[in-house]
Structure 1
Amino acid sequence: MARYTGPKAKIARRFNDPIFGPSKAAQRKSYPPGQHGKGRRRKQSEYAVQLNAKQKAKYTYGVLERQFANLFHKATRKDGITGEVLLQLLEARLDNVVYRLGIAPTRRAARQLVLHKHITVNGSIVNIASYSVKTGDVIGVREKSKSLEVITESLTRSSKRYSWLDWDGNEMIGKFVAVPTREEIPENIQEQLIVELYSK
């Protein structure tokens, strides 16, 4: 299945945000590019700013261009603010929900757990990372996979909890309680710029 496999620190530096997790290499230098720091950072055009917003959202959620465009067009057909609905659709992806529940340390790891059939939805194994989770769905770890080191370590380290998700650590099951509002989504994404870009 297609996914981004290029350098992560380079992308994180471009957006000045650790979108793939904490990394020293992701820190942007205080001086301009060039051998002696004499290069100059040009002012970005309006289009470049809008494109950056879209690229950041794509890399953050691990979605490629065609998938992202499809999600955007789906968001335009739904009621509500298009940018907010787009982020809600991205948050409802199964790989993202697995990451938010703390079952995996990163979205990439969550995607791999889903593809390798370690995750269940409402008791059935689902191995499609882009599967859209609905309100009331129960997401769990398959019985045989509960002792996997990557899962147990991630759950031990994970301390973040989100208001739209319920988690039972003993049973290793979580529930998608409600669709998150924009205020509840912690990602630093300017969704209005994405809407402006696609509206051209």
Structure 2
Amino acid sequence: MKVKVCGIKTVEAASHAVEKGADALGFVFAESKRQVTVLQAQQIIADIPAHVWKVGVFVNEDAATIQQIAGTAGLTHIQLHGDEVPAEYRSIGLPLIKAVSVKSPGDLEKIDDIEADYILLDSPPAEYRGGNGLSFEWDLANALKNSNTKVILAGGLDSVNVSKAISKINPLMVDVSSGVETNGEKDLVKIKEFINSAKKSREENAG
């Protein structure tokens, strides 16, 4: 089971997550309490191993701006978390992750028509697009269980519920942000516990 820790703002949190087995790190460039500057992301990414995804999270940003930020910061993947049409962002030249807010079965029926490399299933937006610590009804996505090769599961995950979520949806990757925080900041103990729970759950489900 692959794990993405999103909302990274410090070298310490990034290094710890990678050391404990994170496969991807997310850097939020959109308006958010976890927003980072291009320079901050660049400084953090400089020390991250090549095999770890460096995902830039954007909301309704234009492709040219994203491409410039990606090149400067060293991003490897682009996450579109707004109302974007992924096909219009292919010119960036990096794998695209498109977030889909899941409120009803109808939201999932649209997934096959989305031209993205990966689909991130998230809870409906609240104050910000994503990172609100809320989960959606996982049973809605049960039909996707056998087509997990492009599904990333987000929304209200933590070390306690991630195993159950994985057993219901069987995604390629799970994505956590607020679930590994204490008082709004990344908690190194929670990061370790989440990664351990997620990795262990795949072994349990396989067994």
- Which structure would you say has the larger Rg? 1
Q: TM over 0.5, yes or no? A: no
Q: Which has the higher strand share?
A: 2
Q: TM-score range by the shorter chain?
A: under 0.3
So what's the TM-score if we normalise by structure 1? 0.26
Q: Which has the higher helix share?
A: 1
So what's the TM-score if we normalise by structure 2? 0.26
